[in-house]
Amino acid sequence: MAPIRLRISKKGAATVEFVIILPLFILLAMVLWQAVVLGKAVLDTQAALRDAVKVTATTGDAEKGKEQGETSFGDWSNYQMKDFTVEIKGEEVIAKAETEVPMLFMKSSYTYTSEAQAPVVQSLNFYAGSDMPPIGTGELAPPVSNPIITSDYGMRWHPVRGEYRLHSGIDFGGPFGTPIYAAGDGIVRYAGWRTGYGYTIEIDHGGGLMTRYAHMESHYMKVSTGEQVTRGQHIAGIGSTGWSTGPHLHFEVLVNNIPQDPKQYIY
Ligand SMILES: [Zn+2]
């Protein structure tokens, strides 16, 4: 191969650099892409296991848990959950998942296997099986009639940002369209899109108390800004818009715009 004589002819040098750098760049991009796909497959599998176990542990219904796990995993074309089992053995919920991730340049694929367990707990969902709006006895009512917590309020590890951050509300798992009810009487201060939150409703209950309902699909929203609502009124349905990996309601309680632990209000 002729020696690379950079800068002698501007045009020639640029061509040599291009010929060397372009394949390297393409290779690097492919390796990065593979790493991203693999990482996402692992995160989705973990989310599926976590939610399946939580729902099964709180409802005692493995079928329901599996369903939630599958919706939390999502519908991805480049990798699939090959095997997913959720079962109750004695007092323990055991979920196992196998996710198959195709690898670039290889005929075989990588299979990620993981398992999660949790004890079956006393049912939190005191409204289970009811399609009636939950009235509740707290200052505010639970916003769903089957309140299954898939992620609690509090500090949590953010895998993407690599730091602990406040999860400013409670996540309730549930299929798309599950009715969401106003937690109290009030006025809709905002109904529309918010970055990160997706389609969002914010209700002002007076005295600085506000509730926020996030990640809905626009066609499930039943109220608009300025509307008066009453406790238990069907205002929207569970969706997965904004920064959301699967259908759930992100529910916040705020006092003077500062997030509070919703459990102190709804239970
Ligand atoms: Zn959330």
- For residues 115 and 153, membership in a common domain is answered with no
Q: Is residue 259 part of a domain?
A: yes
- For residues 198 and 262, membership in a common domain is answered with yes
Q: Is residue 144 part of a domain?
A: no
- For residues 261 and 156, membership in a common domain is answered with yes
Report the predicted TM-score, pTM, of the whole model to 2 decimal places.
0.57
**Can you tell me the mean pLDDT for 192-201?**
95
The answer to whether residue 267 scores a pLDDT higher than 90 is no
Question: Considering its fold, how many domains does the chain have in total?
Answer: 2
How far apart are the C-alpha atoms of 162 and 142, rounded to whole Å? 31
Q: How many other β-carbons are positioned within 10 Å of the β-carbon of residue 37? A: 18
Rounded to the nearest angstrom, the distance between the alpha carbon of 166 and the centre of ligand 1 is 10
Q: Supply the CATH number for residue 57's domain.
A: 3.30.1300.10
- For residues 251 and 153, membership in a common domain is answered with yes
Q: 59 lies in which domain range?
A: 31-119
Q: Is residue 160 part of a domain?
A: yes
- For residues 102 and 155, membership in a common domain is answered with no
Using alpha carbons only, give the angle 233, 235, 236 rounded to the nearest 5 degrees: 140
Rounded to the nearest angstrom, the distance between the alpha carbon of 39 and the centre of ligand 1 is 21
How far apart are the C-alpha atoms of 172 and 240, rounded to whole Å? 12
Rounded to the nearest angstrom, the distance between the alpha carbon of 103 and the centre of ligand 1 is 32
Contacts of 2 (CB under 8 A, 6+ apart): none
Pairing relation of β-strands 149-151 and 170-173? Answer: antiparallel
Rounded to the nearest angstrom, the distance between the alpha carbon of 200 and the centre of ligand 1 is 12
Q: What is the mean pLDDT of the chain?
A: 85
- Residue 127: its pLDDT value, please? 38
- For residues 251 and 211, membership in a common domain is answered with yes
Rounded to the nearest angstrom, the distance between the alpha carbon of 25 and the centre of ligand 1 is 37
Q: Supply the CATH number for residue 217's domain.
A: 2.70.70.10
The DSSP string of 220-232 is G----TT-EE-TT
Last residue of a domain, one of 70, 103, 119: 119
Rounded to the nearest angstrom, the distance between the alpha carbon of 68 and the centre of ligand 1 is 16
Rounded to the nearest angstrom, the distance between the alpha carbon of 96 and the centre of ligand 1 is 24
Last residue of a domain, one of 97, 119, 141: 119
pLDDT tens-place string over residues 127-177: 334 455 666 678 999 999 877 888 889 988 776 677 888 899 999 988 888
Listed ranges 31-35, 80-84, 225-229; the one with the highest mean pLDDT: 225-229
Rounded to the nearest angstrom, the distance between the alpha carbon of 245 and the centre of ligand 1 is 10
Using alpha carbons only, give the angle 81, 85, 88 rounded to the nearest 5 degrees: 155
Contacts of 252 (CB under 8 A, 6+ apart): 168, 169, 211, 212, 214, 259, 262
Rounded to the nearest angstrom, the distance between the alpha carbon of 164 and the centre of ligand 1 is 14
**Can you tell me the mean pLDDT for 25-53?**
91
**Can you tell me the mean pLDDT for 63-89?**
87
Q: With beta carbons less than 8 A apart as the criterion, state whether 45 and 69 touch.
A: no
- For residues 156 and 70, membership in a common domain is answered with no
Q: Is residue 45 part of a domain?
A: yes
Task: Map tokens 């390796």 to a residue.
Answer: 31
User: If pLDDT is split at 50, 70 and 90, which confidence band does 125 have?
Assistant: very low
- For residues 229 and 156, membership in a common domain is answered with yes
- Residue 11: its pLDDT value, please? 59
How far apart are the C-alpha atoms of 86 and 203, rounded to whole Å? 37
Q: Is residue 228 part of a domain?
A: yes
Q: Is residue 161 part of a domain?
A: yes
Q: Is residue 55 part of a domain?
A: yes
Rounded to the nearest angstrom, the distance between the alpha carbon of 151 and the centre of ligand 1 is 7
Rounded to the nearest angstrom, the distance between the alpha carbon of 251 and the centre of ligand 1 is 7
Rounded to the nearest angstrom, the distance between the alpha carbon of 227 and the centre of ligand 1 is 25
pLDDT tens-place string over residues 220-252: 999 999 999 999 999 999 999 998 888 899 999
How far apart are the C-alpha atoms of 14 and 33, rounded to whole Å? 27
Would you give the DSSP letter of residue 239? B
Contacts of 199 (CB under 8 A, 6+ apart): 192, 193, 214, 215, 216, 217, 218, 220, 221, 236, 239, 241, 242
Q: Which of 8-17, 84-93, 139-148 has the lowest mean pLDDT?
A: 8-17
Q: Is residue 26 part of a domain?
A: no
